Amino acid sequence: MRYYFDCTVILDLRTICNELALVKHKLSMIGVQLGVPHPKMIDFENSADPLAAVIDYWLRGNVEGVPLTWRSVVDALMCPHVDEPGLAKHIKEKYCGKKRKVTADISEG
C-alpha cells in the first residue's frame, strides 16, 4: 500500500515567494533542487529579487522533470542541503491536501 499527497499546482509567484521568504538565504540550494541550472542560479543571484527570479524561471516551465506543484517545493525543503522540515510541514499542511491510499503503483495506469 502506498500513500501520496494531493498537491495543488502552483500558479501564483507572490504566494510561493511569500512562503519561501524566510529561507531565501538557502535560495541556491532550493533552486538546484527545483532543477534550475547552476549558470542560471548565478545570473539570478545578481538580479534585483533573486528569489522571485528563480521561482519565476521554474514556474514558466523552463525546468524539465520537476512538476510545478507544492509537493516539489516540499521535497526541495526536505532535502539534506536545504533541511527545512518545519517549513516543509507548514506548506504540506496548507497546500498539499490529505494523504490518500493507492493500492497499485501509479505508473501501472
Question: Assign residue 36 a region: left if phi > 0, alpha if psi is -120 to 50, beta otherwise?
Answer: beta
Q: Does the predicted model carry a pTM greater than 0.85? A: no
Which domain range does residue 88 map to?
Answer: 2-99
Q: Shortest CA distance to 28 belongs to which of 17, 15, 14, 39? A: 39
Q: How many domains does the chain have?
A: 1
pLDDT band at 99; cut points 50, 70, 90: low
Other beta carbons within 10 Å of 34: 19
24 lies in a domain? yes
Q: What CATH number does residue 88 fall under?
A: 1.10.533
- 39 vs 105, residue with greater confidence: 39
Tens digits of residue pLDDT in 43-98: 999 999 999 999 999 999 888 888 888 999 999 999 999 999 999 999 998 888 75
58 assigned to some structural domain: yes
Domain membership flag for residue 72? yes
42 CB-side CA count, 13 A: 3
Per the domain annotation, does 54 fall within a domain? yes
pLDDT of amino acid 8: 75
Asked whether residue 104 is assigned to any structural domain, the reply reads no
